[in-house]
Homo-oligomer: A and B are copies of this chain.
């Protein structure tokens, strides 16, 4: 065991993974391992709700949680496990609505139609989003999280992006202007395209929360040098047949 640790540290100190191993505290150290906000840096609050889309949360969280002194809090209507749309995973909401008086960044993930429809009909969630938005520096969404922001009344007349198949919905229902870009800023409203787009959006945001050199290093920290194997992820270029199959795969993946 000592040998293992030494091997990691020696390489680490030689420019590898680093001395973090010696410094890391076991998460069992605090109650349920919850890491309370330090208050030293930006506080990012991410909403969880039943049937959210996992990567919409995890992509931005992975990037933003590495920003200097950043606090990240997972917040839901109730604390405890919240199941994602496919039912294959649950994340834990460490905080309930109202546990934090102020957030610098609010991020609302997308989810299945059932998930975003239910969240967008939950008056406690919508009231909380409106209250938090009054004091945020950035209010953001990933994928169909834009639907929930729209239900809270935050998209009217705004330039936004969302999941490629949901563009017409946000335009028709909320009077927003759908811009099919990876992420779109309109004032302090920052919206991301579908699912994986949250990573690009979060890296862009990380520069605003810190500085360019830090954001460039964060992109390296998560080794974000993507190599899409098929190059078929752009909906504007995709044939209808592939779009239909993509939507069918999503439908079929739900419980």
Contact = CB atoms under 8 A, between A and B. Distances in A.
Interface string A158-181: 000001111011001100000000
A216 B196 contact: no
Nearest to A111: B24
A83 B25 CA distance: 12
B225 A255 contact: no
Contacts of A26: 50-51, 114, 118
Interface stretch (A100-108, A132-140, A246-254): A246-254
B72 A121 contact: no
Contacts of A131: none
Contacts of A15: 165, 240, 243-244
Interface in A176-232: 182, 193-197, 199-200, 203-204, 207, 212-232
Nearest to A3: B173
B251 A230 contact: no
A187 to B, nearest CB: 19
A88 B61 contact: yes
Given A15-B243, A89-B72, A113 B8 contact: yes
A19 interface: yes
B196 A20 contact: no
Contacts of A194: 222-223
Given A54-B58, A90-B91, A220-B238, A230 B215 contact: yes
A130 interface: no
A18 interface: yes
Given A58-B54, A87-B27, A169-B8, A221 B203 contact: no
Question: Which 9 residue pairs spanning A and B have beta carbons closest together?
Answer: A194-B223, A21-B113, A35-B87, A58-B58, A24-B114, A33-B83, A225-B233, A224-B233, A27-B83
Interface of A: 1, 4-5, 7-9, 11-12, 14-21, 23-30, 32-35, 50-51, 53-55, 57-59, 61-62, 65-74, 81, 83, 85-92, 94, 112-115, 117-118, 120-121, 143-144, 147, 151, 163-166, 168-169, 172-173, 182, 193-197, 199-200, 203-204, 207, 212-235, 238, 240, 242-255
